[in-house]
Structures are given as C-alpha cells and as structure tokens.
C-alpha cells in the first residue's frame, strides 16, 4: 500500500510539473518570442524530476506535444518549440520510436529544418540500432525532406539488409539511385505510407499530398519542389 501511494504521489507531482511547464509552452508559443526554449526544462532535469517514472513523463509530455501541434494546425500558435519538445520526449524514453519518426517529419517539413529532423532520427537509430522502420523512414526523410538521394539510397539499402526487412526498402533504394526526385517516385513513396503506415494522421496526409504531387506543375520532366507536411503525432504505442 505504501509503495502504491508513493507511486501515485510521484505521478501527481510529475503531472503538476508538466502541467505548469505546458502552460508556459502555450503562452510562449502564442507570444511568438524568439527565446522560447530557455523556458523549457532540460532532459536531465526532467529525468531527475520524474522520480524514476521517466516513461510516464515521456507519455505526458508527448500528449502536450500533440496538443501543441494541434494548435499549430488550427493556426492558434507556431511550433518553434516542437524540436525541443521532441528532444525531451526521447530523452525521457529513448525507445519511443513513434516520437522519432513523426517528430522528424514535423521538424523537417512543418518547421523547414531538415538537418534538425535528421539529427532526431540519428538519435533514434543510436538508441534503437538495427530497427528496420527507423532506418527505412530515415531514407524517406532524406528522399522527400532533403532531396538527398545518395543518403536516401544508403539508408534504404541499409534497411533492406536488416533482419525482418520489407522488400519495399530495396525497391525504393533502386528508385533513389535511378530516378531520384521525379514525381512518380515521390508519389510511390507517399502511396506506400498511405497504404501501410500504422499512423492515421500520416495516412491521411499522404493521400492529400499524392494529389498535390499529381497536380503540381513539372519542370523539365521533374517535379517542382513540393511542401510536404509531417503529419500529426499520435499517442505512444507499445514498443
């Protein structure tokens, strides 16, 4: 009983701490200042303050990230803080694969910070080595986010060599090598996500951006550069 009360007490303290931190996130985001990140705690502080419940802290903070991104989609606030939030979430739970995948797409496409998105995915691969889907989606990030077809090919080929690899990785490695950047390959990648992603938000956004790619003007047989969204985050699933 005593242990149970201590756990609930720790959870209550953690929830209160995150609630007040979240309120500052919303206020800062609405004010659109240039010094937002200094008001958010560091990963080290959050780990200490979570009193051993770092996974719970990660879940609660991810829930706040969902709300924060939702506010952005409704034009209620910007998302300048999202990179830091994603970093905090994955500091607290380094195995939180969904946060890496969706976070990197949002950072790369909605914030327009491709290199920061790559850094988050690299962190995910360091903490989850030999994970097929993180490796595969790193190839996707390089292909559509950075138009870096050499790196896209490298990660698709690496994914194809991992245990339990899906045959699509080898197919897209060939596309990156032979036809990098053309509209057909871009549509094929989005169609793959629309058909196979476990994330409902990504499936919906992929369908919309397939239509955009089909309707956009082409230049010299290649697709004009298209803005591609990251897709909204969803609640954490079991790893």
**CA 211/CA 197 separation, integer angstroms:** 18
Report the pLDDT value the prediction gives residue 49, as an integer from 0 to 100.
62
Render 177-206 in DSSP notation, one character per residue: HHHTT-HHHHHHHHHHHHHH-S-HHHHHHH
CB 72 within 8 A of CB 30: no
pTM of the predicted structure, to 2 decimals: 0.69
Q: Token pair for residue 175?
A: 């596309």
**CA 150/CA 143 separation, integer angstroms:** 9
Tens of each residue's pLDDT in the chain, 239 residues: 544 544 544 454 455 555 445 454 445 444 443 334 445 666 666 666 666 678 888 888 888 887 888 888 888 888 888 999 999 999 999 999 999 999 998 999 889 999 999 999 999 999 999 999 999 999 989 988 888 989 999 999 999 999 888 878 888 887 787 666 567 777 777 787 778 777 776 677 678 778 877 887 654 444 434 333 333 344 344 44
Nearest to 187 by CA among 160, 159, 167, 207: 207
**CA 230/CA 106 separation, integer angstroms:** 4
SS3 212: helix
**CA 155/CA 132 separation, integer angstroms:** 10
Question: Please, which residues have CB within 8 angstroms of residue 90's CB and are 6 or more apart in sequence?
Answer: 58, 96, 99, 100, 103, 120, 123, 124, 127
| 222 φ/ψ angles, rounded to the nearest 5 degrees | -115, 155
Domain boundaries, given as residue ranges, for the chain: 1-93, 130-231
> Tokens 């992929």, residue?
206
């Amino acid at each position: 009983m005593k242990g149970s009360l201590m756990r609930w007490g720790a959870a209550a303290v953690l929830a209160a701490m995150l609630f007040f931190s979240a309120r500052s996130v919303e206020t800062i985001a609405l004010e659109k200042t240039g010094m937002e990140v200094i008001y958010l705690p560091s990963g080290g502080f959050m780990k200490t303050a979570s009193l051993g419940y770092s996974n719970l802290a990660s879940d609660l903070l991810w829930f706040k990230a969902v709300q924060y991104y939702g506010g952005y989609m409704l034009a209620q606030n910007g998302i300048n803080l999202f990179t830091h939030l994603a970093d905090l979430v994955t500091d607290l739970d380094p195995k939180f694969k969904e946060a890496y995948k969706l976070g990197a797409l949002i950072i790369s496409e909605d914030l327009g910070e491709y290199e920061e998105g790559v850094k988050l995915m690299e962190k995910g691969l360091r903490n989850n080595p030999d994970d097929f889907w993180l490796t595969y989606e790193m190839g996707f990030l390089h292909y559509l986010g950075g138009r870096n077809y050499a790196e896209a090919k490298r990660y698709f080929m690496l994914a194809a060599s991992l245990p339990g690899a899906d045959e699509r990785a080898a197919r897209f490695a060939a596309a990156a090598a032979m036809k990098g950047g053309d509209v057909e390959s871009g549509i094929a990648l989005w169609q793959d996500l629309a058909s196979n992603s476990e994330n409902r938000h990504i499936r919906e956004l992929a369908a919309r951006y397939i239509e955009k790619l089909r309707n956009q003007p082409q230049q010299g047989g290649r697709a004009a550069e298209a803005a591609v969204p990251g897709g909204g985050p969803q609640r954490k699933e079991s790893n």
